[in-house]
Structure 1
Amino acid sequence: MVTMISLNNAKPAPTLDDLIGIGHCKIGFYKALQHKVEELEQANQELLINRKKMQLILDGITDLMLVLSEDYIIQQTNHVAAEWYPDTDVIGSPCYQILRKRTTPCPECPVQLAITEQRIVKDLCSFTIDSHLKYYEMIASPMPKDSNGLRRVLLFKRDVTLEKRYQVKYAQSEKMATVGTLAAGIAHEINNPLTSISGFAQGLQRRVNKLVGRVEDELVADFDEYTETIITECLRCRDIVKTLLTFSRPLESTRSIVRLNQCVGDILFILQHHLKDQQNISVKTTLDPNLPVILGDESQLKQVIINLVINAFDAMKDGGEIEIITRKGMDNTVKLIFKDTGSGIAEEILEKIFDPFFTTKQVGQGTGIGLSTCYGIVSNHQGTITALNNQEKGASFTVLLPEAIL
């Protein structure tokens, strides 16, 4: 059977106009596509430029920046993380493990508070790093939820140790000025009755001999002992008042060339009798023979050395070693270091030890003005004095003084 195909149902062949129309459509499509590609390329270039600008801004931030999940896992960091923790895989680790070397979240964590209350939380933390107390400002700022609906926090960690030290120095200067004002006001009022007490006690002491043979010998001895004690304590009070006056006005002094090594030797010679009484304490000196000279008041600087050596003695009731070191410092300075193997300084009082009248000794054993006097003398010599705990044991006091310009 032969199937007949109807020619009437066949599609008509495309004409030339149809082909030209299709060509124009393709050309328009390609032009539109090309235009869209150019727009995308331009948008991509702008995005790259903006990204570089943002990266420059982020690279210019010297604070540590961390993006944390709500379970404290570090998701993103800036370049500071690699500088602070060079050999640590920070991404994916808990923040308390990286920042605090802990195995559990920190108590009163600002990150948790920021997530819970959805507000910016600031906190000041202190860390002991290589025996140095450092301060960091922590700022936790809540972020929008991620694509999975999980909450995140942006954490900034900024080193404010230098600012804190300047604040402490400023506060110390304010305290010294306040004490100076008080000292100047009360010194005269204290000295007058002290002079009277001492004078009458000396008068009684001269008349004690007239009682010999008239009263019991034991009573005469008691009177002699009591008057001697009164005079001794009056002289002690006079020295305390004299020291207090150093806070109220700069000590008048004549600056001259001072050799710290010689000062250390002179003081150790003077303290020989004190060293003999402290048989379980040894003194070691490591003095730089080429130490530059300084310009200052030798007697005042010797007072600083005496106070710091005796302070080290008092910190080693069970014995130990004091090492006195002199060496050249940076930026044309000279270092004088006192290291002991005593009990060290409690972290909570480390910032207070140079405060006038602050002491950890029992009543009657210390006035609390020895270290503050050192602070005042060193400051008047345009120097600095700092204290820190040694990594192994004990504490160190470092005096930094400028070299003399000859």
Structure 2
Amino acid sequence: MKTDALIQAGLNLIGQALSIYDSDLKLAVCNARLAEMFDLPDRLTRRGADFEDTIRHLAERGEYGEIDDFESFVKTRVEQARAFQPHYMERVRANGRFISVEGAPLPQGGWVTVYTDITEAKSQEQLLRTRSELLSEEVLARSEELASTNRKLAATVSALEEAQRELTEMEARTRLTTEMMPAHIAHVDSSGCYTYSNRKLSSVMPGRPSQIVGLHISDALGADAYARVLPHLQMALNGDPSTFEFTDENSSRRIRAAFTPDETENGVYILSMDVTEETQVRAALQQTRRREMAAQLTSGLAHDFSNLLTIILGMQSKLARMDLPAPADPLITATLQAARRGGALLNRIADITAHRAWRPEPLDVANFMSDINTLAAPSLPDSIMLTVATDITRRALLDPGQLQDSLLNLILNARDACGATGEIRVSATELRDTWIDFTVEDSGAGFSQMALQHALDPFFTTKGEGGSGLGLSMVYDMAKLAGGQLHIANTNTGARVTLRLPLRTAGSHTNSGLVLLVEDSPDLRTTIRDMLTALGHSVIEAASVDEALALARGVPDIAFVLSDISLEGPALGTELVTALPDKTVYLTTSLPPTDPRHADAAARAAVLPKPFTQSDLAAFLGHEDDSP
């Protein structure tokens, strides 16, 4: 209110009359000079006074001279005011004084009008006209016309300057918005040159420049990526919008792009985003659905087949105990072996079609690879040399059980490929902070052309009756569950199988950090708090998501959050992962792996199943547990 009073006092000091009406033609503000110039009553100078009432009052007072159709005159003035058009005019009042009227619309609606008494200026013009015999009538007329034009021009310039200021602010807001978007937004002309771009290309596609305005799209993206987007660019230039995805070979990122035609300039608007993680999750979900369908299709057949095998084994066992001629023994033995092999095959099929999920947890990759060496070495003959190496020093979120089974499977396959002697090399490497590659190479004969095409198909084998054809299929299935890939190829010295998995870095914390523990069971909260303090942590506690968020926002130095999935209230602990993007959130749960909430949590963060010991918790957090 004090500010309003100061503004009103300042307006009253202005020598010109001023009024501002809003978009509803109600008075927003006026100064004392307006009431004084037009002798207005108090009711017409108060905020909210109606414009139509003011016009009617002035007309009745004779401000506009004689009026034939009074109502039509008032209506016309009101309609002109609603149009909000900038204007400048000069007129003679009923009292004989001259005034100029300058009006300009406001960006928020309504308009401002300034009334200036120009009687003195007009008198000077008249005096100049009567006393200057040297100036012709034409020069005088043009001088007056020029003066009037200049006043109109000044009013127009003011309106244009205000419009320019508004446009500048809008452009700045638009630029800031595009820069804050986690996507590349750009425009190219008909020749493929960038006319606009935010500075996000290097974030979406690492290795590219950020300043690309003026560059051709092929120079900004590179030859390979340009070849992939060119057909879609041509479609958009021809007027057909296109949305597509492609893999950028330089960065191994999955990119989704939308090309929208710009029909006004025959160009294309471009929106591109990094959807690598989304693609990995989508691939994992698709593979899970395929496996569920396979389980439904095979469960009935497997059940009946198991019954038949049971009957066959029982009958053959009876035959083996009978006093039959000697030639029957080999036949009975072969039948029993075939039946048992059929039973083993059913077990492998069950392993593939059973409901399994990718359950990542913090894993020290270097120690894991050392364990692989320890587990695999005894299965290899002395004539086959095993080399296991990695340069990864940080922890990653991986499923150690499924990953270990897959690598051991690949190593045993490599052993069979090497024959009597050879070499097997196993390595783990990071790929552009996006993937982690586990590679198994051998010095065997390599994959045949047929194997390169069908090695990942279920039941395909090159080992004859000695192989089930499900080994590589199980590894491939695991890779897809994790949102990864499996590549097979030949090298100059043998075969190579690369298991490529999404790289999710697991946090590593000192034993002295502050922990936010979120657990709704008081007894369990006490137990876990004692574990954390024994590991050297300070602990603050919450029982619900709302309580945890309030603590996290009020305490900035929290090292990480350890939360149960099921908590007090309707919100789940998984919501803390997205609500606290700047904090590392670990989840615990006693829900079974088949529960959808468990699966959703595993896709968001590392999950530690209950019950767990202090040693389990220390390993999960990457600590050394010094407890006895």
Alpha carbons of 1:405 and 1:369: their partners in 2 closer, same or farther (altered >3 Å)? Answer: farther
1:70 aligned to 2:190?
A: yes
The residue aligned with 1:5 is none
1:37 aligned to 2:157?
A: yes
Alpha carbons of 1:358 and 1:46: their partners in 2 closer, same or farther (altered >3 Å)? Answer: farther
- 1:6-405 to structure 2, matched below 5 A, reads 13-14=133-134, 28-81=148-201, 83=203, 84=205, 85-87=207-209, 90-102=212-224, 109-116=231-238, 118-130=239-251, 132=252, 134-146=253-265, 151-204=266-319, 211-212=325-326, 220=327, 224-246=329-351, 247-248=353-354, 260=368, 264-265=372-373, 267-272=375-380, 275=381, 279=383, 282-286=385-389, 303-313=405-415, 321-323=424-426, 338-341=438-441, 357=458, 367=468, 369-370=470-471, 373=474, 384=482, 386-387=484-485, 394-397=496-499, 404-405=616-617
TM-score, normalised to structure 2's length?
0.45
Q: Are the aligned partners of 1:283 and 1:321 in contact in 2 as well (CA < 8 Å)?
A: yes
Whole-Å Cα distance in 1 between the matches of residues 329 and 193 of structure 2?
Answer: 77
Whole-Å Cα distance in 2 between the matches of residues 243 and 103 of structure 1?
Answer: 41
Whole-Å Cα distance in 1 between the matches of residues 399 and 231 of structure 2?
Answer: 49
Q: Are the aligned partners of 1:119 and 1:141 in contact in 2 as well (CA < 8 Å)?
A: yes
Alpha carbons of 1:160 and 1:336: their partners in 2 closer, same or farther (altered >3 Å)? Answer: closer
SS in 1 for 2:617: coil
- Percent of aligned positions with the same letter in both sequences? 16
The residue aligned with 1:7 is none
Pairwise CA RMSD: 5.2
Give the aligned residue type for 1:396. T
* Rg larger for: 2
Residue 45 of structure 1: CA displacement? 0.5
Residue 39 of structure 1: CA displacement? 1.5
Whole-Å Cα distance in 1 between the matches of residues 269 and 422 of structure 2?
Answer: 51
Residue 358 of structure 1: CA displacement? 7.4
Q: Are the aligned partners of 1:184 and 1:248 in contact in 2 as well (CA < 8 Å)?
A: no
SS in 2 for 1:339: strand
Give the aligned residue type for 1:236. R
SS in 2 for 1:65: strand
SS in 1 for 2:337: helix
Residue 157 of structure 1: CA displacement? 2.7
Task: Say how many residue pairs are matched.
Answer: 352
Whole-Å Cα distance in 2 between the matches of residues 65 and 309 of structure 1?
Answer: 46
Q: Are the aligned partners of 1:243 and 1:373 in contact in 2 as well (CA < 8 Å)?
A: no
Whole-Å Cα distance in 2 between the matches of residues 233 and 323 of structure 1?
Answer: 35
SS in 2 for 1:175: helix
Q: Are the aligned partners of 1:75 and 1:92 in contact in 2 as well (CA < 8 Å)?
A: yes
SS in 2 for 1:129: coil
Alpha carbons of 1:25 and 1:100: their partners in 2 closer, same or farther (altered >3 Å)? Answer: closer
The residue aligned with 1:3 is none
Whole-Å Cα distance in 1 between the matches of residues 240 and 498 of structure 2?
Answer: 42
Give the aligned residue type for 1:128. E
Q: Are the aligned partners of 1:65 and 1:80 in contact in 2 as well (CA < 8 Å)?
A: yes
Q: Are the aligned partners of 1:375 and 1:384 in contact in 2 as well (CA < 8 Å)?
A: no
TM-score, normalised to structure 1's length?
0.64
Alpha carbons of 1:265 and 1:27: their partners in 2 closer, same or farther (altered >3 Å)? Answer: same
Whole-Å Cα distance in 1 between the matches of residues 291 and 158 of structure 2?
Answer: 71
Residue 316 of structure 1: CA displacement? 7.2
Residue 305 of structure 1: CA displacement? 4.4
Q: Are the aligned partners of 2:429 and 2:436 in contact in 1 as well (CA < 8 Å)?
A: yes
Q: Which has the higher contact order (CA 8 A, sep 6+)?
A: 1
Question: Which structure 2 residue ranges, 5 or more long, are not aligned?
Answer: 1-131, 358-363, 505-605, 609-615, 619-628
SS in 1 for 2:484: strand
Give the aligned residue type for 1:60. M
Question: Which structure 1 residue ranges, 5 or more long, are not aligned?
Answer: 1-11, 213-219, 252-257
Residue 60 of structure 1: CA displacement? 2.9
